[in-house]
């Protein structure tokens, strides 16, 4: 057992941290976020150039063979931005499905385009009434013309607006909540019958509600096994939880730092408010929650990296902690900043909003507490 | 002790119901039911309708145009008004400066300002907070210097809610910097149309533009707009922080919101084949809020009853502020929880009548998260909840 | 709607409060508690003399016709002792069953003896595996010799050691958790086949584990309807929850008072510890929890007094609040007292222990939260 | 980063298991498994067995007789020791005064005292708290006046755990009242057999007699028993409050307790036809504690790892104290919850071997509530959790 990063991991970390420190000052991010696209193509090209987009793919597929630990390093730094380029959607979610289950031919077509920054992708897996149940899929893929016709409604598809390619979960057999019978498809986002309704998210990303109205794909569009999409989806969502949890840890760090800084300079009743014992104890608690979250992040990440059998359970534990600590730290940061914290101008609101949304992604704290409690 | 309504109270309840069903603008109720944004003009119409019935000021003494209701009647009125879905009354005139004027103002001021407040002809806003003075109000620095029959006011107020519609602002200003911090402060009323006033919106984290910076550049204010004595403004203002005010806890609204949540939960899938209204985790959360609220409702009634039997409305009312806002915030969290994945969507204009923003997900979810963000303010404004705890510790516990 | 007590109620309150103030100083209570019997026969005789033991019975049965509000007044004062005379067991629990369901003949025999202080009683309703489910009854009453034979095991029967008469719930038909088929019996505690194992409780009361080994009773021992005991039991337990909640409010008041007093006199770092803002805010929260509990106590009591349809649900709300606030106030009181609070010598421990046990009686906070959530 | 054990670590784990299965007093494990009270004599036997294997001091440097283990090995050892069900080591000698002596003591003191601690021939107790000085240790008033080669010690220590068995006590005493409070304090070691010492048990709220008042009436203590310099005792003592100490968080014990709870829950009816291990509410509570503990386990490992890479054991270790004790307390609450109605029974002597108290309810439940009461102490002693938060605020956050 050891807690040290490798030299390569440290190099990546230093790089990403510098990028965030230097490129992600508030004004620049605001401008990017307000733009039509919602992220910076320049940054994206730079991600490609620096090899970050290939970090998570195996060397055989042209990547750098990174794993859970590399993702953690990357996303913890992203969380400090918070970075709004759609790395999660393209590389972790859609890319994760490809990495796990795509055929050699599919990989050859799609992975290099991701790595080179030429393709934006999205994973369309949630549905209006499915809430956090990954097996709850009513979108149907029925045989048609040597391929399949997809019909249904996918909800809050992250990076939907920019995606040129979608990975879609659809039911090929079984009842609505049956884990068995879900198949993953590669779908060109420009296909006939796709209707995207685009909107911004609360934390500055972009997403789409996507209607599939008899969208035709050929047999080669299937990723992995027919009916066998659920475990691939599950593993990929676990990766996404790890990544967003690392991001959350980065965001918590920034919130604690900003709050601490604020209380050292903001004076009330003649003294810096950091001198008030009540705020001191509350910030001590914020610090503890951050450290505890970081510990679980390490634990879950190392468990995944080592392929431990109960890694999924540890990931649920992490998601619970991220949800609860994120809520506490976020709310306290705003409260301690007072009126200032409520203004869009102060930057703390962005971390608070991102933390809030991370809780609601991929199953909130309640959902994962139940998953944790009922698995062993 | 009796929890049941007397025959008279039942009759009154009926009267209130009939009023909201017949004599109140139905289009406003309709808008509110559909979660549409209520405009400033709607607000004024709503208040004028209440005034026409004589019900605009349940917390004012009858002699100044208040209702003179018993606690039970005030409770019934609040409950029925929330049930009917009428928007709440803008508090700055009726709940805040009005009581200050009838308590500390002179006869001329009462005559001049109270009718405009009761009739909702004047829209008021509050000028207390300053960029450099948050909870530590006493360190404010907006100056009012005497120049003949006028004060010349310069400085900046911030966090001023709905200043964009305001005709008048009541301000704490520094009329002297000689004495101890609190003692140089005066309470004055300023016409928002005075030259030298500019209002700049502050965008809040939910994207809203409810609050503003209000800048004063050598604004001339007649001396007759001073409330009470010069230098005693702090004492008047403190009344606002500790004085019991109807509805500060927002109990009736919160009850209505919980009913809405229950109705929504019974139509919202939990993803695993049950409705959210059958989901253990959600029910547990919801129930804890409901229990707090059931308790607070009686804490408020107990406070009102004590006031009626002659006990002064005490610092105990800080409980109403703290628990009331905590409950309001918890309710917004329940909505976020219910919204699930749709909590992510940011659709700021969705509920503005005539907007052409398409919704995603269930209709009620479009502002779930924005409201959660927005409501973080409730534990900060009106004397932050930390200040309220200080008040309890000092004034109630004697620490 | 009004919140005023009647003159009679105020008189009772003043009387009981004076009794507790004057008779219940710590040393006296300690002595009583350490005695064989665990309560004071003198006090009991006085309760009878002052009419308190008859307070809850209808005037027709020789009582004073008090209801939920009178019980609240009495028990709030008891909570300030905390009084350890077995009023709850004898008058509220066993007495409550008699008041609700006993025949005229049964009342004539048993009620005067309670009112005159001549009889101690106990309600044997919980069982080893039933936890907080009142309908979970495995003790069997089977027809035998023109009467019934009772067999089974009753758990933690409050006031079991002193009781001369037991009210026992036993199954006369149905499955183990069937609410229908439970019958209440009056049983002489000295009957053949009754085996009591006596023990003290954590909060200074006395209780028994009672084995019924073929205990024979005649047909006249049935209280109320055959098979119809459950609703009577339910209503009586609701009364007991009201009473112990009032007691809890009294105990919370005392804990808050003692803690406040302590922080005003105890000095650390050169100042009274009550000057530390952290403790001030925590005590403000303790005060708020107390006030909120008191509000729900009033609400539930008034709802019962008015016979409101949803009174049971309000009682569950109250029990949740009593459990949670009692835990918070109790733990904080001990913590703020520091080492001193941990000593038996300081009196605060007694209130803390009573509050803890009140939570575990008649269904803890979790149990009642569920009952609250699932009824409307 | 690697969560898996190396081959060497796996082998070590095996060694530890074999040791507890074969070379450790099996009757003590048996007693502990049956929840029987472990006597002072058992404790000494247990520690001597650990010492015989060279494993009594995992937190001491090898040069003084410690194990020199890596954090992973210490983690493995703690885990296995808890799993085996061995009682914990009495901390006063091995975790507290030992490190003080080898860090600040002179050679003679090391020679004289360390072997007795390692061999468990000397039972130590701690004399810090005083009736008038709780968390504010620096205001202590027990006096040590110089009289030739001796100090004459008079005063009262309180809250002294297991003093009834102690051979020695380490004390903070005031050797001067001239300077600032902290500066007149010295750290001395006192033979408990010295004339003038009396020990009086304090009954705690759970009915236990673990802690004591220790009175000193003109007790003569040789000057050579002074640790380090006169007047610097405060500095030495502070090390105990902030220094990382193996097992301060009690993680391994808490894990073992949670396993026990799970086993019990799977055999305990919830009254409604399920086992408590299937009861949603109970599972939720249990899971929240387990998650906190999983996090704390890694917080401890991260701290140990940082220490090994040369970083000083910092005030961050206050987290271990706060979270560790909160978890221990939560665990006692889970037991109370599981016990249901039987939580009410008070059976203080039940687990004392040879006692003839009859149990009621399940065997494990007899001390559920007493333990809950007793464990309230954990957030008070060893530097109260409030003091620990002060330390984090000042030393970590720089406030």
pLDDT digits (tens, 9 = 90+) for D50-99: 999 999 999 899 999 999 899 899 999 999 999 999 999 999 999 999 99
Which residues in chain C have their CB less than 8 angstroms from residue A281's CB?
Answer: 278
pLDDT truncated to tens, each residue of chain C (376 aa)? 899 999 999 999 999 999 999 888 888 899 999 999 999 999 999 999 999 999 999 999 999 999 999 999 999 999 999 999 999 999 999 999 999 999 999 999 999 999 999 999 999 999 999 999 999 999 999 999 899 999 999 999 999 999 999 999 999 999 999 999 999 999 999 999 999 999 999 999 999 999 999 999 999 999 999 999 999 999 999 999 999 999 999 999 999 999 999 999 999 888 999 999 999 999 999 999 999 999 999 999 999 999 999 999 999 999 999 999 999 999 999 999 998 999 988 899 999 999 999 999 999 999 999 999 999 7
For residue C252, tell me if it sits in a domain. yes
| Helix (H) or strand (E) run with residue B228 in it | none
Q: Which among C1, C5, C296 has CB closest to B3?
A: C1
- Both B322 and B384 in one domain: the answer is yes
Name the interface residues of D facing A (CB cutoff 8 Å). Answer: 1-6, 9, 71-72, 75, 280, 283-284, 286-288, 290-292, 294-299, 301-302, 305, 309, 316, 319, 322-323, 386, 389-390, 392-394, 396-399
- Cα separation, A336 vs A283, in Å, equals 9
Q: Apex CA B123: angle with CA B122 and CA B129, to 5°? A: 135
Catalytic residue among B78, B130, B230, B244: B244
Which residues in chain D have their CB less than 8 angstroms from residue B284's CB?
Answer: 281
How does the average pLDDT of chain D come out, rounded? 93
Q: What is the ipTM of this complex?
A: 0.96
- Both C255 and C344 in one domain: the answer is yes
| pLDDT the model gives residue D315 | 74
Single pTM value for the model = 0.96
Name the interface residues of B facing C (CB cutoff 8 Å). Answer: 1-6, 9, 71-72, 75, 280, 283-284, 286-288, 290-292, 294-299, 301-302, 305, 309, 316, 319, 322-323, 386, 389-390, 392-394, 396-399
Q: Are A363 and A371 in contact (CB under 8 A)?
A: yes
- Both A270 and A238 in one domain: the answer is yes
For residue D81, tell me if it sits in a domain. yes
| pLDDT the model gives residue B313 | 60
| pLDDT the model gives residue D138 | 80
- Cα separation, A43 vs A53, in Å, equals 11
Tell me if A342 and B358 make a contact (CB, 8 A cut-off): no
- Cα separation, B165 vs D321, in Å, equals 54
Cβ-count burial of D68 within 10 angstroms (0-12 exposed, 13-18 middle, 19+ buried)? exposed
Which residues in chain A have their CB less than 8 angstroms from residue C283's CB?
Answer: none
- Cα separation, D209 vs A224, in Å, equals 67
* Mean pLDDT on A68-97: 97
Number of domains in chain C: 3
Tell me if B299 and C287 make a contact (CB, 8 A cut-off): no
- Both D373 and D336 in one domain: the answer is yes
Which residues in chain D have their CB less than 8 angstroms from residue C278's CB?
Answer: 386, 389
- Both D267 and D385 in one domain: the answer is yes
D168 strand-pairing partners: D124, D191
Q: Apex CA A225: angle with CA A219 and CA A227, to 5°? A: 90
pLDDT truncated to tens, each residue of chain B (399 aa)? 999 999 999 999 999 999 999 999 999 999 999 999 999 999 999 999 999 999 999 989 999 999 989 989 999 999 999 999 999 999 999 999 999 999 999 999 999 999 999 999 999 999 999 988 777 778 889 999 999 999 999 999 999 999 999 999 999 999 987 767 778 999 999 999 999 999 999 999 999 999 999 999 999 999 999 999 999 999 998 877 666 555 678 999 999 999 999 999 999 999 999 999 999 999 999 999 999 999 999 999 998 888 777 766 677 789 999 999 999 999 999 999 999 999 999 999 899 988 888 889 999 999 999 999 999 999 998 889 999 999 999 999 999
Within C230-324, strands assigned E span 267-268, 271-272
**DSSP secondary structure code for residue C91 in this structure:** I
CA C29: distance to chain centroid?
18
Q: Are B353 and B38 in contact (CB under 8 A)?
A: no
Q: Are C141 and C170 in contact (CB under 8 A)?
A: yes
- Cα separation, B244 vs B302, in Å, equals 12
CA distances from D166 to D124, D171, D247 (A): 5, 13, 22
- Both C197 and C272 in one domain: the answer is no
At residue D308 the predicted structure's pLDDT band, cuts being 50, 70 and 90, is confident
Name the interface residues of A facing C (CB cutoff 8 Å). Answer: 276-278, 280-281
- Both C271 and C139 in one domain: the answer is no
Number of domains in chain D: 3
- Both C215 and C262 in one domain: the answer is no
* Mean pLDDT on D311-317: 70
| pLDDT the model gives residue B383 | 86
| DSSP sequence for D14-36 | HHHHHIIIIIS-HHHHHHHHTTP
| DSSP sequence for C210-251 | EEEEEEEEEGGGEESSTTBHHHHHHHHHHHHHHHHHHHHHHH
At residue D178 the predicted structure's pLDDT band, cuts being 50, 70 and 90, is confident
| Helix (H) or strand (E) run with residue D319 in it | helix D318-339
Q: Provide the CATH number for the domain around residue B221.
A: 2.40.110.10
For residue D145, tell me if it sits in a domain. yes
Residue D183: is its pLDDT beyond 60? Answer: yes
Measuring CA to CA, which residue among D327, C9, D264 is closest to residue A292? D327
Name the interface residues of C facing A (CB cutoff 8 Å). Answer: 276-278, 280-281
CA distances from B196 to B125, B191, B219, C84, C351 (A): 17, 11, 5, 72, 63
Tell me if B373 and A353 make a contact (CB, 8 A cut-off): yes
- Both C242 and C159 in one domain: the answer is no
- Both B150 and B178 in one domain: the answer is yes
- Both A16 and A105 in one domain: the answer is yes
For residue D244, tell me if it sits in a domain. no
Instruction: Point out the domain boundary residue: D64, D89, D114.
Output: D89
Please give the residue range of the domain that contains residue B181. Answer: 123-231
- Both C100 and C78 in one domain: the answer is yes
For residue C357, tell me if it sits in a domain. yes
For residue B113, tell me if it sits in a domain. no
- Both C265 and C368 in one domain: the answer is yes
- Both D23 and D68 in one domain: the answer is yes
For residue B353, tell me if it sits in a domain. yes
| Helix (H) or strand (E) run with residue A267 in it | strand A267-268
To which residue do tokens 């109403």 refer? B320
CA neighbours closer than 13 Å in the CB half-sphere of residue D7: 0
- Cα separation, D116 vs D64, in Å, equals 12
Measuring CA to CA, which residue among B267, B344, B271, B338 is closest to residue A134? B271
Instruction: Point out the domain boundary residue: D89, D104, D134.
Output: D89
Which alpha helices (H) appear in A54-103, and where do they start and end?
68-80, 87, 95-101
Q: What is the pLDDT of residues A85-95, one digit of tens each?
A: 999 999 999 99
Q: Apex CA D145: angle with CA D139 and CA D151, to 5°? A: 115
- Cα separation, D117 vs D136, in Å, equals 29
Q: Does C280 touch chain B (CB under 8 A)?
A: yes
**DSSP secondary structure code for residue C266 in this structure:** -
- Both B222 and B256 in one domain: the answer is no
Measuring CA to CA, which residue among D35, D72, D29, D69 is closest to residue D49? D29
| Helix (H) or strand (E) run with residue C288 in it | helix C277-305
Taking one residue from B and the other from D, the number of pairs with CB-CB distance under 8 angstroms is: 3
B144 strand-pairing partners: B153
- Both D225 and D264 in one domain: the answer is no
Which residues in chain B have their CB less than 8 angstroms from residue A130's CB?
Answer: 269, 271
- Both D85 and D200 in one domain: the answer is no
Residue D246: is its pLDDT beyond 60? Answer: no
Which residues in chain A have their CB less than 8 angstroms from residue D295's CB?
Answer: 292-293, 295-296, 299, 317, 321
For residue C1, tell me if it sits in a domain. no
Size (chain A), residues: 376
Q: Are D339 and D368 in contact (CB under 8 A)?
A: yes
The residues of D carrying an active-site annotation are 244
Instruction: Point out the domain boundary residue: A198, A227, A256.
Output: A227
Measuring CA to CA, which residue among C369, B163, C345 is closest to residue D213? C345
For residue D98, tell me if it sits in a domain. no
- Both A128 and A172 in one domain: the answer is yes
Tell me if C1 and B283 make a contact (CB, 8 A cut-off): no
Q: Which among A321, A369, A372 has CB closest to D295?
A: A321
- Both D273 and D357 in one domain: the answer is yes
For residue D346, tell me if it sits in a domain. yes
* Mean pLDDT on D155-161: 95
Residue with more model confidence, D308 or A236 = A236
- Cα separation, A250 vs A76, in Å, equals 5
- Cα separation, A126 vs B159, in Å, equals 39
For residue A30, tell me if it sits in a domain. yes
Cβ-count burial of D390 within 10 angstroms (0-12 exposed, 13-18 middle, 19+ buried)? buried
For residue A313, tell me if it sits in a domain. yes
| Helix (H) or strand (E) run with residue C287 in it | helix C277-305
- Cα separation, C261 vs C283, in Å, equals 11
Gap from B134 CA to chain A (nearest CA, Å): 7
- Both A309 and A282 in one domain: the answer is yes
Which residues in chain B have their CB less than 8 angstroms from residue C1's CB?
Answer: 2-6, 9, 71-72, 75, 301
| pLDDT the model gives residue B179 | 65
For residue C328, tell me if it sits in a domain. yes
For residue A1, tell me if it sits in a domain. no
To which residue do tokens 């930057």 refer? A347
Taking one residue from A and the other from D, the number of pairs with CB-CB distance under 8 angstroms is: 129
Beta-carbon count within 10 A of B33 CB:
11
Structure tokens at C302: 């008034």
CA distances from D251 to C62, C140, C152, D289, D291 (A): 61, 46, 42, 12, 12
Nearest CA in chain A to C279: A278
* Mean pLDDT on A92-110: 97
Nearest CA in chain C to B319: C288
Subunits with 3+ C-beta pairs closer than 8 A to B: A, C, D
Gap from C335 CA to chain A (nearest CA, Å): 15
Within chain D, strands assigned E span 124-127, 143-147, 150-161, 168-174, 185-191, 197-202, 211-222, 226-227
Q: Are B290 and B258 in contact (CB under 8 A)?
A: yes
Instruction: Point out the domain boundary residue: C88, C119, C150.
Output: C119
Cβ-count burial of D382 within 10 angstroms (0-12 exposed, 13-18 middle, 19+ buried)? buried
| DSSP sequence for A115-126 | HTT---EEEE--
Instruction: Point out the domain boundary residue: A181, A211, A227.
Output: A227
- Cα separation, D213 vs A308, in Å, equals 51
Please give the residue range of the domain that contains residue C257. Answer: 231-374
Residue A206: is its pLDDT beyond 80? Answer: yes
- Cα separation, D341 vs D345, in Å, equals 8
- Both D224 and D263 in one domain: the answer is no
Q: Does C312 touch chain B (CB under 8 A)?
A: no
Tell me if D281 and B284 make a contact (CB, 8 A cut-off): yes
- Cα separation, C93 vs D285, in Å, equals 31
Tell me if A126 and B380 make a contact (CB, 8 A cut-off): no
Q: Provide the CATH number for the domain around residue C140.
A: 2.40.110.10
- Both D155 and D259 in one domain: the answer is no
Instruction: Point out the domain boundary residue: D197, D231, D265.
Output: D231
- Both C31 and C152 in one domain: the answer is no
Q: Provide the CATH number for the domain around residue A302.
A: 1.20.140.10
Residue with more model confidence, B156 or D308 = B156
| pLDDT the model gives residue D240 | 77
Q: Which among B346, B370, B380 has CB closest to A339?
A: B380
Interface with chain B: mutation pick from A30, A177, A202, A244, highest number of B CBs within 10 Å: A202
- Cα separation, C98 vs C121, in Å, equals 11
Q: Provide the CATH number for the domain around residue D309.
A: 1.20.140.10
For residue A2, tell me if it sits in a domain. no
């Amino acid at each position: 057992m050891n807690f040290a990063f490798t030299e390569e991991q440290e190099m990546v970390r230093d790089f990403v941290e510098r990028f965030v420190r230097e490129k992600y000052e508030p004004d620049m991010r605001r401008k990017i976020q307000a733009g039509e696209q919602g992220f910076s193509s320049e940054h994206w090209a730079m991600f490609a150039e620096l090899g970050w987009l290939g970090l998570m793919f195996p060397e055989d597929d042209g990547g750098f063979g990174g794993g859970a630990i590399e993702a953690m390093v990357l996303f913890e730094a992203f969380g400090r931005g918070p970075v709004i380029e759609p790395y999660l959607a393209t590389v972790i979610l859609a890319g994760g499905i490809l990495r796990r289950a795509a055929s050699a031919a599919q990989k050859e077509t799609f992975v290099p385009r991701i790595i080179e920054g030429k393709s934006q992708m999205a994973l369309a897996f949630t549905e209006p009434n499915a809430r956090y149940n990954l097996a709850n899929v009513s979108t149907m893929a029925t045989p048609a013309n040597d391929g399949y016709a997809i019909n249904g409604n996918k909800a809050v598809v992250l990076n939907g607006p920019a995606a040129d390619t979608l990975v879609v979960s659809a039911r090929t057999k079984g009842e609505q909540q049956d884990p068995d019978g879900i198949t993953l498809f590669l779908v060109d986002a420009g296909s006939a019958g796709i209707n995207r309704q685009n909107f911004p998210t609360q934390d500055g990303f972009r997403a789409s509600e996507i209607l599939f109205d008899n969208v035709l794909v050929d047999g080669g569009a299937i990723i992995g096994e027919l009916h066998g999409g659920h475990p691939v989806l599950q593993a990929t969502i676990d990766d996404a939880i790890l990544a967003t949890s690392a991001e959350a840890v980065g965001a918590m760090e920034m919130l604690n730092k900003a709050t601490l800084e604020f209380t050292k300079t903001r004076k009330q009743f003649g003294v810096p408010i950091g001198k008030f014992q009540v705020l001191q104890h509350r910030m001590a608690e914020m610090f503890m929650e951050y450290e505890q979250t970081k510990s679980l992040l390490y634990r879950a990440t190392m468990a995944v990296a080592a392929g431990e059998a109960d890694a999924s359970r540890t990931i649920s534990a992490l998601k619970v902690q991220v949800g609860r600590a994120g809520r506490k730290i976020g709310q306290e940061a705003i409260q301690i900043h007072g009126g200032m914290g409520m203004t869009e101008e102060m930057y703390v609101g962005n971390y608070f909003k991102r933390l809030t949304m991370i809780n609601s992604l991929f199953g909130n704290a309640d959902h994962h507490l139940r998953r944790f409690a009922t698995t062993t | 002790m009796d929890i049941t309504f007397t025959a008279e109270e039942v009759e009154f309840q009926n009267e209130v119901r009939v009023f909201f069903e017949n004599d109140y603008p139905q289009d406003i109720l309709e808008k509110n039911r559909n979660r549409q944004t209520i405009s400033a003009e709607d607000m004024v119409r709503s208040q004028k309708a209440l005034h026409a019935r004589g019900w605009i000021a349940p917390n004012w003494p009858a002699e100044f145009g208040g209702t003179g209701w018993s606690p039970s009647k005030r409770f019934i009125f609040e409950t029925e008004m929330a049930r009917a879905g009428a928007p709440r009354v803008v508090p700055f005139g009726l709940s805040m400066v009005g009581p200050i004027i009838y308590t500390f103002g002179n006869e001329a001021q009462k005559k001049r300002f109270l009718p405009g407040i009761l009739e909702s002809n004047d829209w008021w806003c509050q000028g207390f907070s300053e960029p450099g003075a948050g909870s530590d109000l006493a360190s404010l620095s907006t100056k009012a210097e005497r120049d003949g029959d006028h004060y010349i006011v310069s400085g900046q107020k911030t966090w001023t809610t709905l200043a964009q519609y305001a005709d008048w602002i009541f301000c704490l200003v520094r009329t002297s910097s000689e004495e101890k911090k609190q003692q140089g402060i005066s309470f004055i009323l300023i016409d928002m149309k005075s030259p030298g006033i500019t209002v700049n919106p502050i965008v809040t984290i939910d994207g809203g533009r409810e609050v503003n910076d209000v800048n004063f550049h050598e604004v001339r204010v007649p001396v007759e707009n001073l409330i009470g004595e010069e230098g005693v403004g702090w004492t008047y203002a403190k009344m606002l922080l500790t004085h019991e005010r109807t509805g500060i806890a927002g109990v009736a609204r919160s009850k209505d919101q919980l009913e809405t949540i229950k109705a929504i939960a019974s139509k919202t899938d939990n993803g695993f084949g049950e409705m959210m209204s059958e989901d253990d985790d959600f029910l547990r959360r919801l129930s804890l809020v409901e229990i707090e609220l059931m308790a607070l409702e009686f804490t408020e009634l107990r406070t009102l009853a004590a006031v009626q039997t002659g006990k002064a409305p005490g610092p105990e009312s800080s409980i109403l502020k703290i628990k009331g806002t905590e409950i309001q915030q918890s309710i917004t969290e329940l909505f976020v929880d219910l919204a699930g994945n749709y909590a992510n969507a940011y659709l700021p204009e969705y509920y503005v009548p005539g907007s052409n923003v398409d919704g995603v997900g269930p209709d009620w979810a479009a502002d779930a998260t924005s409201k959660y963000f927005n409501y973080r303010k409730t534990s900060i404004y009106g004397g932050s909840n930390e200040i309220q705890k200080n008040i309890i510790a000092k004034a109630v516990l004697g620490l």
